[in-house]
């Protein structure tokens, strides 16, 4: 392997889940080749770095190493507040306002005498507009896709469908709002339109998705946080399509507990977590249902009551993470379930899922959470909320048969948070929890996939090999 320093520019999305996966990818690459030099250009969150938000805290925790350095881009002047009407367009516009900063910093890096040869840009799946800047430096772009290979294939399929309809976005929006099923090459089973991701059911949302997807097609390759054995059908389908960039499934890329930030807002080891682990230590093996819905998974008082009622009726032990200081639980619930249940704030999800007492996971189906449950072999009950989580839930339950459904098509409007989205009944929740905890065959399959997920990242595993090929590709770019 060449001793020439190969320079890479990483640009993650300033969102905690995307950011942490990106940083873990940089560590993975450096561990495979010490002749790589990586510069991570950090776009500040719109709220800035002076807040106590999880992403701001995480960014402040990052420190340079011999092979990885972090450069925080200047805070751009706020854009007009369009996001109440067009949040997706707002995000894209915010990314593009940083072109000048990225251009200047990369020019400075490449002009230094001790600089390596610039090989590529590696950008987040929602930052594909940055491909224009990479093209100015005549280097290829690799897209880091933090969702599933199945969703990647679905996104590309819809974009091709829109183009085949002469860019008639309205017809696809009508399809998204209908009640039918469509055949998508990356899925074995027909996909119901009710699990279409958020944003595909409006013209403005779909216009944005088409914009970033057409850009994605111009990338040299897509690095996907998944593994071949999990999504073989989707990966083979993508790899056999000559119109799709090369696909590198390099996962599961997880956020190790040891690298967590010490804060209540981000996964961390603190006194509260110690108390949770001690409580779990006193529970029987595989007896606890863990409920956690991500940083945006907040419910109103009516829905909280339905969840509480289901937990009380089910008689199962539970650990319920509620990331909402204003949450109101039914009177007497905590006292009545004391001993077999525990309600907590934010939890260190990896530590909880890795504890032997946890036997089931009620999740919003964010892709990182899916991979973590797979890693530890914990079966899931699906309750998607936003983004592509409905499609993740469909894949888990129908395609992979590694989980049970509480809901596949539940979704919340993250712009109008007061907008009614319906209520999942306590009967539906209780039924899902019982099936989750009592399905021995699903539990066996999940344990098998857990072992596979660990083998695939080890020497000789499929993801290990794909990382090696990816590194070789980076090096060849400058040879």
Active site residues: 18, 124
- Give CA torsion, residues 200, 206, 212, 215, to 10 deg: 120
Q: Are 323 and 347 in contact (CB under 8 A)?
A: no
> Are 143 and 123 a contacting pair, CB within 8 Å?
yes
Half-sphere exposure of 346 (CA within 13 A, CB side): 14
382 CB burial (10 A radius; 0-12, 13-18, 19+) = buried
- Peptide bond before 252: cis, by omega within 30 degrees of 0? yes
Cα 392–chain centre separation:
10
How many Cβ atoms sit within 10 Å of the Cβ of residue 55? 24
| Coil, helix or strand at residue 440 | helix
Query: Distance between CA 122 and CA 110 in Å, rounded?
Result: 16
Distant-in-sequence contacts of 377-380, Cβ < 8 A, 24+ apart:
377/443, 377/446, 377/447, 377/449, 377/450, 377/451, 378/290, 378/353, 378/446, 379/403, 379/404, 379/436, 379/439, 379/442, 379/443, 379/446, 380/404, 380/436
- Is the Cβ–Cβ distance between 159 and 214 less than 8 Å? yes
Residue 397's CB is within 10 A of a number of other CB atoms, namely 21
Pairing state between β 141-145 and 181-182: unpaired
List, in order, residues 6 or more apart from 228 with CB less than 8 Å away.
235, 249, 456, 462, 463, 466
Residues 6+ apart with CB under 8 A from 89: 82, 204, 207, 208
Q: Computed from CA positions of residues 305, 310, 316, 319, in that sequence, does the dihedral angle turn out positive or negative?
A: negative
d(CA 208, CA 197): 13
Query: Could you tell me if 56 and 48 are in contact, meaning their C-beta atoms sit under 8 angstroms apart?
Result: yes
Q: Which residues partner with 38 through β-bridges?
A: 8, 68
């Amino acid at each position: 392997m060449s001793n020439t320093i190969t320079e890479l520019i990483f640009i993650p999305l300033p969102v905690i889940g995307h950011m942490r996966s990106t940083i873990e990818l940089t560590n993975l690459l450096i561990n495979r080749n010490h002749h790589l030099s990586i510069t991570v250009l950090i776009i500040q969150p719109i709220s800035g770095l002076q807040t106590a938000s999880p992403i701001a805290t995480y960014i402040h925790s990052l420190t340079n190493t011999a092979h990885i350095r972090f450069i925080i881009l200047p805070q751009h002047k706020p854009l007009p507040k369009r996001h109440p009407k067009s949040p997706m367009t707002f995000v894209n516009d915010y990314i593009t306002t940083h072109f000048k900063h990225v251009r200047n910093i990369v020019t400075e890096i490449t002009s230094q005498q001790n600089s390596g040869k610039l090989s590529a840009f590696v950008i987040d799946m929602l930052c594909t507009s940055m491909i224009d800047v990479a093209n100015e430096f005549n280097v290829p772009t690799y897209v880091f896709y933090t969702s599933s290979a199945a969703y990647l294939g679905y996104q590309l399929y819809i974009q091709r469908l829109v183009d085949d309809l002469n860019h008639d976005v309205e017809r696809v929006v009508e399809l998204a709002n209908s009640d039918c099923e469509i055949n998508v090459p990356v899925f074995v089973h027909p996909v119901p339109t009710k699990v279409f991701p958020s944003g595909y059911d409006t013209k403005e949302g779909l216009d944005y998705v088409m914009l970033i997807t057409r850009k994605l097609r111009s990338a040299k390759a897509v690095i996907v946080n998944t593994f071949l054995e999990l999504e073989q059908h989707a990966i083979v389908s993508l790899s056999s399509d000559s119109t799709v960039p090369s696909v590198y499934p390099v996962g599961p890329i997880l956020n190790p507990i040891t690298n967590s930030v010490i804060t209540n807002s981000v996964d961390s080891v603190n006194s509260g977590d110690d108390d949770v682990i001690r409580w779990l230590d006193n529970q029987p093996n595989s007896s606890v249902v863990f409920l956690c819905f991500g940083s945006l998974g907040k419910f109103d008082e009516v829905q909280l009551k339905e969840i509480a009622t289901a937990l009380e009726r089910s008689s199962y032990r539970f650990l319920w993470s509620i990331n909402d200081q204003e949450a109101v639980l039914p009177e007497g619930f905590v006292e009545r379930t004391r001993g077999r249940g525990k309600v907590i704030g934010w939890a260190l999800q990896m530590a909880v899922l890795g504890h032997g007492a946890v036997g089931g996971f009620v999740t919003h189906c964010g892709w990182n959470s899916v991979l973590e449950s797979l890693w530890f072999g914990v079966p899931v009950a699906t309750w998607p909320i936003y983004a592509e989580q409905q499609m993740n839930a469909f894949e888990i339950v129908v395609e992979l048969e590694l989980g049970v459904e509480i809901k596949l098509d539940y979704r919340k409007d993250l712009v109008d948070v007061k907008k009614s989205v319906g209520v999942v009944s306590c009967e539906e929740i209780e039924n899902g929890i019982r099936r989750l905890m009592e399905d021995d065959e699903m539990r066996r399959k999940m344990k098998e996939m857990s072992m596979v997920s660990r083998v695939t990242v080890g020497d000789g595993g499929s993801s290990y090999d794909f990382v090696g090929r990816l590194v070789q590709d980076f090096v060849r770019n400058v040879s």
